[in-house]
Structure 1
Amino acid sequence: MKNATPNIVLILADNLGWGELGCYGGGALRGAPTPNIDRLATQGLLLHNFNVESDCVPTRSALMSGRHPIRTGCLQSVPPGLPQGLNRNEITLAELLSRQGYATAHFGKWHLGDVPGRYPSDRGFDEWYGIPRTTDESQFTSSTGFDPSVVDLPYIMQGRSGSDSEQVKVYDLDTRRGIDAELVDRSIAFMQTHHAANRPFFLYLPLVHLHFPTLPHPDFAGRTGAGDFADSMVEMDHRVGQITNALADMGIEENTVLIFCSDNGPEYRRPYRGTAGPWCGTYHTAMEGSLRVPFIMRWPGKVAPGRVSNEIVHVTDLYATLAAIANAPLPDDRPIDGMDQTSFFLGRQAKSLREGFLFYIKNDLRAVKWRHWKLHFYWEPEVNEGKGKLESPYLFNLLSDQKEESDVLIFNTWVLGPILKMVQAFNQSCEAYPNTKPGAPDTVQA
């Protein structure tokens, strides 16, 4: 029996650059064919101009809250034991969908809170399994001089709504190799269970690949002959294929909205540095290589196959769009930065509703995108190699200058008008609805 309400599967890769996948010009050229994801791209919509925040935490908070992280205080990753995460006064996407009768699960990397009250099972997910913080921590126990007496050991955890989350096993280099396989197995079991019960489900699957240390599952080690990074890419593609195959086996592809995207641009450290294709920069910068990441959406019978667009979409838009698909009303007591892109995604209109957005790194407004223009207030093309705040901003035409090499502000000062009006409107919004400070305590109780 077919649910009237579609299932939603959201797969989020970690540190996957724009140019890594075959359908974005990488794949076999990078020594790592990605046939499953490439096939998925032919079955739906592929975006060339899908934009995220500067790194893991701010993007995940934007996705879950529909709001820019400068509003929510989720500005950066911090070590365990320090205040972090999405304040409980934020209403998560999982909470919206749960209210509409969805079964909800989070399998993967959370990074939005590591204390009781802020775990996924406290924030709208019926169940979760994964890591509360970053994969960096898998290196802790093998690091020279590591002292467990002064650091919280990293754990893979699990939990269910209404119960305390618990530690399952230490997250080290061995468990890091196997975690994505575990996440997918649990995801498939979750989908099968709720399909059998004829209940719509929301599966949020934030994979660990390709975040450093980029280490493949033992079954994929040496698979490509091109090293751990390429082996991990092939494994990630395989994991996505397992999900798509499971949906096909259950016969629910047409009733499932499937989205695959990344949380930010590629890593900048070698040997784990990825590629952003034609764009410059990595995550932790305001370059296009940081902002633009892969995005594929499949919904057979709704989203036309083989469609490609360079229209601007932002990660906050997924909050508003998926809520609309699930008929879930948005919160009306706060600014929601996301826009409902359903009509654009479904091809009812050719243009995105969005003309641009502001891009912060931590507390600094680094850049603004508007149409095919990009205005930089700071200049840092590579991490830790910047000029700081500019006396005169740089303006780039992203259609003719993908590498952001030629400042054309002096010839196009008219562009400052609409861009600075965007900044003014956002600042006024933040004055009317004050931003949450990083680490602020919860005002809503668990």
Structure 2
Amino acid sequence: MANVGEMSGDRSFSRRSILLGGSAVAAAAVGVAERTHRAQAQQPARQRPPNILFMLVDNLGYGELGVYGGGATRGAPTPRIDRLASEGLRLTNMNMEAQCTPSRSAILTGRYAIRSGTHSVPFGGVADGLTQWEVTLAESLSAAGYATALNGKWHLGSHNGRLPNDQGFDEWYGIPRITDEAMWPGSPGYSPNIMPPEQIMEGRKGEPSRDVKIYDLEQRRLIDAEITRRSIAFMERQARTKKPFFAYATLTQPHLPTLPNPAFVGKTGNGDWADMLAEMDHNVGEMLDAVDRLGIRDETIVIFASDNGPEFLRDWEGWAGPWKGQYFTAWEGGIRVPFLIRWPGKVPAGRVSDEIVHAVDLFPTLAKFAGAEVPKDRPIDGVDQSDFFTGKTEKSARDGILIWCADRLQAVKWKNFKVHFYQQETMVSPPVKLAIPLLFNLYTNPREDQDKQITDSWIFGPVLKMVGEFEASTKKYPLIAMGTPDPYVPPGARP
């Protein structure tokens, strides 16, 4: 048996090893779309599915926004985002995966990224992206009659066949990979003959995507304003057609290099980072204003979230507020993020909850709201949180999560307790397997200090039950290895 750290080779593993070592789909989609369109045509407009505006920012720490203890204390108030928080539900225990690629995969598939071959940020031009076998939230919503668009960062595939317009989005504009590649063109010794620069791209469903321009430092400063502009234009077009829409605005700030738009340079007097925060708040406000101007506020679900914890590298270091750590680690600061959701008349305003929610829950929850389908032919780790979000219950539909760092099951959270099987201080620190796992009570030890460990070993019972259930699912549905090419067919399935 292989341990968790060896999962990219032998995909079988056990609970004991964790402690001790650490085109049928397309046809179905068409059928769903036809049935949904017929049903929607018979519904009065007020009963049609809600629009969805999902604003996902990149590497924003838990403590950066005013409503989470930041804002002015970080050099720039965030009044528009703070107001959004007061108009719906604010979560204080929203968990993402620890890196950009896996968190975006989890949001769109409802599955832990370890299942999908997307457990790590791909570096150095290696094979990357979701296989076409995966069904995304955009594909499900599209089959349910939604217009879909992604404007911003993708990070789930770099080439035609694995870009947003290949995974359910009618249109897209943005960058396929990571923002720090904008630094390449101006770097000493860089040559595009050795490593081609990242391109800003755009594409439409059914057509190859095309390169628009090189993503350099000038474009890095300009791109979020363009993402905002295009997201608003998409919502305007759909509002005229009365068709429900999914506008996925994946802003690139504050990912390094954290450089504000020229219109915001010097605006706060507190440096680039604060100017960027002011720009982010402005862009969010522009999209919220568009929803109001179009008269669709009451029929639009608005979500604001970060994809993982804050930046680690200086001079762009972020802040996780009361939590320890940054992204690429299993500390609370690496996974616990801001999350706001507004849906007037459905999601009670002014509500704050510390109940556990995970990125994988967003697919089944939004699908429920939209009347869309969730795949039934594969493990879905997400749970439907619609009753919790709408206030029908005060309790989350889950009480724990698995925390993956790359292909390692690094920790598990259950209620207010947390078990670490590996110790890794920062993103550049080597992960060390622990002979005896670390055990914390996050209520009494939110910083996860080792000298405040608890000895309540009974907690391993529910924790290992969660691990065991995941293990059992991998025997029937093996994990997809990173870099798996298309076409992918699960073992035992008909090609």
Q: TM-score, normalised by structure 2?
A: 0.88
* Equivalent in 209, 214, 234 of residue 190 of structure 1: 234
* Equivalent in 313, 316, 336 of residue 380 of structure 2: 336
The yes-or-no answer on 1:226 pairing with 2:270 is yes
In the alignment, the residues of structure 1 paired with residue 238 and residue 219 of structure 2 have an alpha-carbon distance, to the nearest angstrom, of 28
* Equivalent in 374, 377, 381 of residue 421 of structure 2: 377
3-state SS of 1:84 partner: coil
Q: CA RMSD in A?
A: 1.3
Aligned partner of 1:320 in structure 2 is 364
3-state SS of 2:150 partner: strand
In the alignment, the residues of structure 2 paired with residue 330 and residue 383 of structure 1 have an alpha-carbon distance, to the nearest angstrom, of 34
Q: How do 1:32-47 residues align onto structure 2 when only pairs under 5 Å count?
A: 32-47=76-91
Aligned partner of 1:173 in structure 2 is 217
Contact kept in structure 2, 1:194 and 1:200, CA below 8 Å: yes
In the alignment, the residues of structure 2 paired with residue 27 and residue 185 of structure 1 have an alpha-carbon distance, to the nearest angstrom, of 24
Contact kept in structure 1, 2:439 and 2:455, CA below 8 Å: no
What are the superposed Cα offsets for residues 19-56 of structure 1, whole Å, 9 maximum, x if unpaired?
Answer: 00000000001111100000000000000000000110
Q: CA deviation at 1:139?
A: 0.3
What are the superposed Cα offsets for residues 227-250 of structure 1, whole Å, 9 maximum, x if unpaired?
Answer: 111100110010000000000111
* Equivalent in 134, 137, 140 of residue 90 of structure 1: 134
Aligned partner of 2:163 in structure 1 is 119
In the alignment, the residues of structure 1 paired with residue 290 and residue 453 of structure 2 have an alpha-carbon distance, to the nearest angstrom, of 51
Contact kept in structure 2, 1:395 and 1:407, CA below 8 Å: no
In the alignment, the residues of structure 2 paired with residue 271 and residue 235 of structure 1 have an alpha-carbon distance, to the nearest angstrom, of 18
In the alignment, the residues of structure 1 paired with residue 488 and residue 118 of structure 2 have an alpha-carbon distance, to the nearest angstrom, of 17
In the alignment, the residues of structure 1 paired with residue 469 and residue 207 of structure 2 have an alpha-carbon distance, to the nearest angstrom, of 42
In the alignment, the residues of structure 2 paired with residue 20 and residue 131 of structure 1 have an alpha-carbon distance, to the nearest angstrom, of 24
Aligned partner of 1:275 in structure 2 is 319
Q: CA deviation at 1:430?
A: 1.1
In the alignment, the residues of structure 1 paired with residue 473 and residue 376 of structure 2 have an alpha-carbon distance, to the nearest angstrom, of 14
Q: CA deviation at 1:386?
A: 5.3
Structure 2 residue runs without a partner (length 5+): 1-44, 490-495
Aligned partner of 1:144 in structure 2 is 188
Match for 2:233: what amino acid? A
Match for 1:123: what amino acid? Q
Contact kept in structure 2, 1:283 and 1:290, CA below 8 Å: yes
Number of residue-to-residue matches in the alignment: 445
Q: How do 1:6-405 residues align onto structure 2 when only pairs under 5 Å count?
A: 6-79=50-123, 81-385=125-429, 388-405=432-449
What are the superposed Cα offsets for residues 159-204 of structure 1, whole Å, 9 maximum, x if unpaired?
Answer: 0001110000000000010001101111111001010011000000
Aligned partner of 2:472 in structure 1 is 428
Range that drifts further, 401-410 or 4-13: 401-410
Q: CA deviation at 1:75?
A: 1.7
Contact kept in structure 2, 1:395 and 1:408, CA below 8 Å: no
Q: CA deviation at 1:2?
A: 4.5
In the alignment, the residues of structure 1 paired with residue 458 and residue 143 of structure 2 have an alpha-carbon distance, to the nearest angstrom, of 46
Match for 1:136: what amino acid? D
Match for 1:273: what amino acid? E
Contact kept in structure 2, 1:128 and 1:158, CA below 8 Å: yes
3-state SS of 2:55 partner: strand
In the alignment, the residues of structure 1 paired with residue 243 and residue 276 of structure 2 have an alpha-carbon distance, to the nearest angstrom, of 33
In the alignment, the residues of structure 2 paired with residue 134 and residue 315 of structure 1 have an alpha-carbon distance, to the nearest angstrom, of 20
The yes-or-no answer on 1:439 pairing with 2:483 is yes
Q: CA deviation at 1:385?
A: 3.4
Q: CA deviation at 1:136?
A: 1.1
